[in-house]
Amino acid sequence: MNKIIGIVSGKGGVGKTTLCANIAFSLAYAGKRVIAIDGDISLKNLDIPLGMTDKSVYDFTDVLSGRCEIEKAVVRHDDCPKLHFIAAPQQADPDSYNAQGFARLCRQLRQTYDFVLIDAPAGVGKWVRDIIGCCDECIVVATPDLTSLRDAQRVVQLISDSGDPPSRLVINKVSPAMINRGYLQNVDDMMDSVALPLLGLVPTDDSIVIYSNSGKPVAGSKSVCAHPFENIAMRLCNHGVPLDKYWRKNKNK
């Protein structure tokens, strides 16, 4: 079944956009047709880790307002032909991105693509609620710190109030050493605090910043984070990929 998946977070700076880009690459490398939509109006950044800066002439509000057809707003990645992208506007009149029109656009794209990934803005604003409302599934992204996990709890409540699509948690920027020393909650406690099943864990690694800033995918690279991104993509395809037992070996005392 083709899916519309919203990638959301309560707190900014948790790596949501980078995660969206690398899930998109991983799915495309696995042979899936993928389109990534930058849903972060005025703060658009998804083009950077996708390596598609300045590739888009039109954005999704141009489609919604009738200024262009969908085909003109969709841009194909030069090196990954199964991966396509639609940009967000730098600025937009609220009337040009109404929820009903955006939902229709996503449903239309779902007919063509295996996965429609939406990089939503951080927080719990109305536009985030609108994006959640058109999704078949949501990925909630958090980091191990308590402030991020608390904000993720608020997003889970927002999801429940906005159609309640099935949702799973990705914990990003994980430091196993910090967890094992007791400075951070263990993974089971993080899952319990957010009350979502775990989709994946991504370790902290400086190479993510290096790859993302250069517009190159971490997925498929030699980074230690490449495999976690690919595993998340496989789980989205309903493949039973187990978590590394290392992540849950030690409990905080």
Strand partners, 130: none
Q: Which domain holds residue 52?
A: 3-140+205-245
> 75-76 and 83-86 as β-strands: parallel, antiparallel, unpaired?
antiparallel
Query: Could you tell me if residue 154 is inside a domain?
Result: no
Give the CATH number of the domain where residue 37 resides: 3.40.50.300
Burial of 10 (0-12, 13-18, 19+ CB in 10 A): buried
pLDDT along the chain (253 residues), means of 10: 94 92 96 96 91 92 92 96 94 74 96 97 93 96 92 95 94 81 77 91 85 83 84 93 61 41
Quick one: pLDDT at residue 252? 41
Q: Strands, DSSP E only, in the chain? A: 3-8, 34-38, 75-76, 83-86, 115-119, 137-142, 167-174, 198-203
Query: Could you tell me if residue 152 is inside a domain?
Result: no
Query: Could you tell me if residue 240 is inside a domain?
Result: yes
Query: Could you tell me if residue 120 is inside a domain?
Result: yes
Query: Could you tell me if residue 213 is inside a domain?
Result: yes
Q: Which two tokens stand for residue 115?
A: 């996965």
6, 124, 247 from 127: Cα distances, Å: 12, 8, 35
Query: Could you tell me if residue 156 is inside a domain?
Result: no
Quick one: pLDDT at residue 203? 87
**Could you give the number of structural domains in the chain?**
1
